[in-house]
Each structure stands twice: as structure tokens, then as C-alpha cells.
Structure 1
Amino acid sequence: MRRWLVTGCSSGLGKALAVAVARAGDQVVATARRTDALAELVEAWPGRISPLALDVRDAQQCKDAVDAAVDQLGGIDVLVNNAGSGLFGAVEEVCDDELRDQLETLLVGPWRLTRLVLPVMRAQGAGHIVNVSSVVGRMWAMPGVAAYMSGKYALEGMSQALAAEVAPLGIRVTVMEPGGFATRYGTAMTEACVRLPEYASYGEILGMFRGMDQNPDLGDPDDYAQAVLRIVAAEQPTPLRVPVGPGAYEMLAGAHQAATEELGAASALMTEAEVLETAE
């Protein structure tokens, strides 16, 4: 039986994962900013799912959450940094406070919780940290979501370094990269306080996000949850990054192709410049 600490379980991917973990016979401390949002989970899985209030932007709440999870479960085998939020706005529109808040949720919070959990896992000699990124953490730029993409890119960089650091300690790291799933992520996305008419055309992208929970072509969060369980249960080494969901591999393949073409163009440009300098 594994002991899980999962953040952001009030809805969407986090809620689906908490249910899947409980159904598999494991124990999970499920967190949300408000514990009343977890009442349905606790009622459905008494003894399997324990609720905990946690805003990952709050340092003291993070420490208290890890301490409480260790007290309740006797240890933590799996930490899933799932809590997230979206901010829509062009780079020029997003102010410092909005950017800090976005990065606190997407990067600083997961970093802090990871730092707090690592001593527990080191003492156990084992553990698994799952950081929930997104396909946008490796995709080509999408106008209007620079702050969100910056947080996910940074989370992936942190995770890559973390994996190298803790592998000798028996601790595994996985970055889940969901594609499109039918969740309330887009509905809950906030907008920058300043909106400029020069960027009004990007409103179509915001509309796409707003309709995610009603899009029948998007993935089922339950499928995502099963993918996480498979990764955690796998005995053989698994890739650091695991794309999951409809279109995830196609989108990342397109991003890889675009990056390859950009690298080729840059190489050709610099080679041409060197030839011209030599000729002079």
C-alpha cells in the first residue's frame, strides 16, 4: 500500500487521481484550498482519502501539510504536485504581482513541497515525486499564456535537475505532461487586470480554454489518473517526461520539428555570417 500526498484535488485531474488512488487500495492525503471542496471525496472513500487545506503559495501551510501527511500516514511514498491555475494575458499586460502569483503556484509551491518531502523520502530510502506539467511546457509559444508557459517550462527544468540529484538516493521523478483534458481549468483561468486593444485578437485562444470542460474531443481525467498509477507502479525505469492525453504526442512532435527547423535556420545564419566575416 502506497501513501500519497496530492495537491489540487478539488476538481479535474487531481480529483480523478485521488479517487483512482483510493480505489487501488492506497491511502491519500488530498489537498485543496478549502476542505469543503473535498467533502464528496472523503464521504465516498472514508479511511482512504483524508482532506487537508493547502494553498501551495503559503509556505507555512506547505510545511504543515507535509507534517500532517507524515503524522497521518506514517510517511509519504508519492508526492504529486498537481495544484495549478491559469493566467491569460500578453507579456505586456501581465503585471509583476500577477506574474509572481502564477509562478508561486506553478513553480515555487511545487519546489517548496518537494524540498519538504525529500528528507522524509531520503529517510525511507525510496519515494516518487510526480510533477504535473503540461504539453505547453515543451510546446512552441502560444500567445496570451506566457506566464503559464513560463511556469511549466521552469517546472520541467527543475524536475530534470531534481531527477539527476535524487536518483542515487532511490527517489524517482516523473513529469506528467497532459494534453487536452475535459476539466474546469479553462473556466477558472483568470485574466490579467490590464487588457490592451492591440492584443484583442488573442481572445479566440481564451475562448478555446473557456470551453475545455464541454469539449467532447478532450480526454477523460480518469484515463489520466490511470496513467499516473501505471507510472508509479512500474518496476522498470520510466522516462522522465510522460505525455498523456489526446493529441499530446502529436503536439510535442510538432514542437520538436519546429525546434529542429529553428536550430537549422540559426546554424545556417551563423555559418553565413562567419563566411562573410572571413571574406572581409
Structure 2
Amino acid sequence: MTRRWLVTGCSSGLGRALAEAAAGAGDVVVATARKPDALEELVRAWPDRIVPLALDVRDAAQCEEVVRVAVDRLGGLDVLVNNAGSGVFGAVEEVGDAELHDQWETLVAGPWRLIRLLLPHLRAQGAGHIVNVSSLAGRMAFPGLSAYVAGKFALEGMSQALAAETAAFGVRVTVVEPAAYATHYGSALAEARHRIPVYAEATGGMLAALRGLEGSEDAGRPADFAQAVLGIVAASGPTPLRVPLGPGALDLVAAADAAAPADLAAARDVTAAMLPVPPSGV
């Protein structure tokens, strides 16, 4: 079966690896990037399977045009992968309104917009798969990644609601949660413009770790991520809503889940202490 994909953020990293893998498997991919010149190598490798289009997911008009062109040219789409991303590093107090707005436009509003535009086509054909690329930061918080974490939490919450809304139409939803992969994310990560020195101790270690990901032997290979996503999309049976991927991802999620009962027990004690005491004799 030849699938028709729309993948955002294909200039490098996970998006590029996924476009390569899908085209290599015989599928057709509408590959997007802010600067389509970055897609020339993909087109040369698979001229009949890669359709390059310019897309900044923050631009509503561009989103509408990409979905229209993709559906018209391919006769429909089977898989949407919301992969385009960006990151701003800073504590909550350090991230300004404009930086927060830009982060959320990329991580939440852009994917939401593309989903809204494509869903009528998927509902009409009675099938489709929406893959939202989140992060382990969509499950747990990391100091200094406040805006990014907030965006990924929002993406995952939207995805959970979306899965319940679209199941009856044959549209599947999957959130993939990458751990550390050998991409350019760390070097591309922008720092908040107004850093406050007192937060250096709380956030400095995380920033150094992110900067050091590139070239690390402990980081996962984007090609492995791509093959995992292809497997999820090709699966004939039910798939989990949220799938952690990459080195150590399952262990980190398991550790976070293991801590949850203790938090719930503490919250139960606090809640119980706040409840009114029933009158004696009742």
C-alpha cells in the first residue's frame, strides 16, 4: 500500500529522516520546510516521491495553501506528521511574551491549524493517521525549558481529546515522545533574550546537556526514529496514544509514573484535611 504523507519540519533532524524513510519505502511525501532549498537533496534522491513545499506553520495562509496543494496534487492524504518545532531556553521569569507566543504558535497553534484543515478530507475518506511529534518534555518538566514544556503538554492534551473525537471516523492519533536524538536541536535552541543570573544554577546543567547532545554516542539515531514511526503507521491493530521513543525513554517515563502514587497520596492527605468534619452522632 502506497501512503501519502504530509510531514512538517523536513529540513533536518527527525523530519528529514522520516521523509527519507517514507520515500525509501515507496510512499509519497509532501515534505515541508521554512526554506524549501533545504529539501533539494531529498528531491534529487526521490524525484517522484518527494513533493517539496515551503511552510512556516505559524503562517495560517501558508498552512491553507500547503494542505490544498497536497490534497489536489496527490488526490488526498493518509498521514499527517506534525514535526516542525523550535525551542526557547529560559526560566518562566525569563521568557517574554513575544518569545512565549512564538513558541506556542510553532508547537501548538501550527499543528492544531493543520489538523483542522486536513480533518474534513480524512473524515470524507474514512481513514487517516495523525502523528504529533511531542517529546519526553510532554510528560515531565525540565528546568529552563518552561515554554517548550508548556507547549508539548498542550500538544499532548489536545491530541488526547482529538483521539476521542475522531475515532468514529477511522482517523487514528498517535503522540510520539522522542528522547535524546542526534539532531541539531541543542545547537539551534535559542536562549531567552533577558537571562537572569540567579537562575543559572537551576537551569545551567540542562542547557549544557542540550548543547552537548549533538555528536553524543548516547543519543539515538534519527533513522531509527523514522523506522519506528513507519511501523506505528503501518500497524493494523490498535496503537497506544502515546509512544516514548529513543534511548532511555521508557525508563524515564516509568520512573515518572512510579513517582505519581506518592504525589497522589500526599494530595489525598491534604484534600482530606480540608474536608469538613461531620457532626458528632452522624
TM-score range, shorter chain: over 0.9
Q: Report the CA distance between 1:229 and its aligned residue.
A: 0.5
Q: Which moved more, 1:193-202 or 1:52-61?
A: 193-202
Distance in 2 between residues matched to 1:200 and 1:279, nearest whole Å? 53
Letter of the 1:48 partner, please give it.
R
Q: Which moved more, 1:42-51 or 1:149-158?
A: 42-51
Q: Deviations over 1:137-165 (max 9, x none)?
A: 011x2111010000000000000000011
Distance in 1 between residues matched to 2:153 and 2:114, nearest whole Å? 18
SS of 2:162 mapped into structure 1: helix
Q: Which moved more, 1:24-33 or 1:204-213?
A: 204-213
SS of 1:47 mapped into structure 2: coil
Q: 1:278 to 1:197 in 2, by over 3 A?
A: farther
Letter of the 1:138 partner, please give it.
R
Q: Report the CA distance between 1:213 and its aligned residue.
A: 1.5
State the partner residue of 2:194.
194
Q: Report the CA distance between 1:274 and its aligned residue.
A: 4.2
Q: Report the CA distance between 1:279 and its aligned residue.
A: 9.6
Distance in 2 between residues matched to 1:214 and 1:268, nearest whole Å? 47
Q: Report the CA distance between 1:264 and its aligned residue.
A: 1.0
Find out whether 1:4 has 2:5 as its counterpart.
Answer: yes
Q: Report the CA distance between 1:251 and its aligned residue.
A: 0.7
Q: Deviations over 1:10-56 (max 9, x none)?
A: 00100000000001000000000000111111111111111110000
State the partner residue of 1:247.
248
State the partner residue of 2:170.
170
Q: Deviations over 1:148-201 (max 9, x none)?
A: 000000000000000011100111111111111111111101111100011112
TM-score (norm 1): 0.96
Distance in 2 between residues matched to 1:148 and 1:279, nearest whole Å? 49
TM-score (norm 2): 0.96
For residues 157-236 of structure 1, what are the structure 2 equivalents within 5 Å? 157-201=157-201, 202-236=203-237
State the partner residue of 1:24.
25
Letter of the 1:127 partner, please give it.
G
Q: Please tell me the root mean square deviation across aligned C-alpha atoms, in Å.
A: 1.4
Q: Deviations over 1:198-231 (max 9, x none)?
A: 1112122111111212111111011100010001
Q: Report the CA distance between 1:258 and its aligned residue.
A: 2.2
SS of 1:243 mapped into structure 2: strand
Q: Report the CA distance between 1:68 and its aligned residue.
A: 1.1
SS of 1:238 mapped into structure 2: coil
Among the aligned pairs, what percent are the same residue? 64
Identify unmatched segments of 5+ residues in structure 2: none
State the partner residue of 2:15.
14
Letter of the 1:213 partner, please give it.
E
SS of 1:214 mapped into structure 2: coil
| Aligned residue pair count | 278
SS of 2:92 mapped into structure 1: coil
Distance in 2 between residues matched to 1:224 and 1:8, nearest whole Å? 15
Distance in 1 between residues matched to 2:180 and 2:95, nearest whole Å? 24
